[in-house]
Structure 1
């Protein structure tokens, strides 16, 4: 595995905590349950898939799990955008969560590309 694996594990776990806290806030204060639940599922799935990839059975298995984590991160960005554009999520909270989400997407894209290119060599 690559050195960035530790960075992605740390950042994806921290992001999951932020997503859980945002979920609790939106449920309590905005009484929004459907979109928020989708954000919770995809946002916490990123870290779970990264953790699972740590013990992947092969490079192909690692790439597969990280690729699914990338899809979940991208989906989370979608839910964050929708929550902001429907006035459930305030701009400041959105900016912060969105920046973290976009950083995860960029890291995962880099990891997947890097490992795929090392497999084909």
Structure 2
């Protein structure tokens, strides 16, 4: 299992760890998005992409908290779908950054693309499982 950590140089580093904590993984993903966007090129395009990425990339963490406090299975599924939607948007912004050099840390961008893809898969599977229970 991969877990994101920020080392002293603030470059992303993926490490293997026992156990699984989606909330912690989303927290660290959000932190890495903040670190990445703070270091982006200060230009019209850089500011635009950074703002969009900051919004979508930090959204899944608090929305996952909302899903944990859902009032019904239907509400739970709806909130998981919000997380999934934001993760898909984030994945697309990161892919754009991979093509246009607006971020200094290209390694971070590639690692975040991989992590966002994994999170998308996790949320997609969770939604499918919850929808099966819903009947």
State whether TM-score is above 0.5. Answer: yes
Kept after mapping to 2: 8 A contact 1:53/1:62 = yes
How many Å apart are 1:13 and its aligned residue? 1.2
Instruction: State how far apart, in whole Å, the 1-side matches of 2:113 and 2:69 are.
Output: 28
Aligned 1:22-37 pairs, distance under 5 A: 22-26=36-40, 30-31=41-42, 32-37=46-51
Matched, 1:112 2:112: no
Give ranges in structure 1 of 5+ residues lacking alignment: 1-5
Per-residue CA distance 1:2-51 (angstroms, 9 max, x = gap) = xxxx732221111001001111111xxx1121111100000011111101
Q: Which has the higher strand share?
A: 2
Kept after mapping to 1: 8 A contact 2:98/2:110 = no
Q: How many residues align?
A: 112
| Residue equivalent to 1:102 | 117
* TM-score of the aligned structures, taking structure 1 as reference length: 0.87
Higher relative contact order at CA 8 Å, sep ≥6: structure 1 or structure 2? 1
How many Å apart are 1:91 and its aligned residue? 3.5
| Residue equivalent to 1:3 | none
Q: Which has the higher helix share?
A: 1
Aligned 1:85-100 pairs, distance under 5 A: 85-89=99-103, 90-100=105-115
Aligned 1:15-94 pairs, distance under 5 A: 15-26=29-40, 30-31=41-42, 32-89=46-103, 90-94=105-109
Instruction: State how far apart, in whole Å, the 2-side matches of 1:94 and 1:25 are.
Output: 12
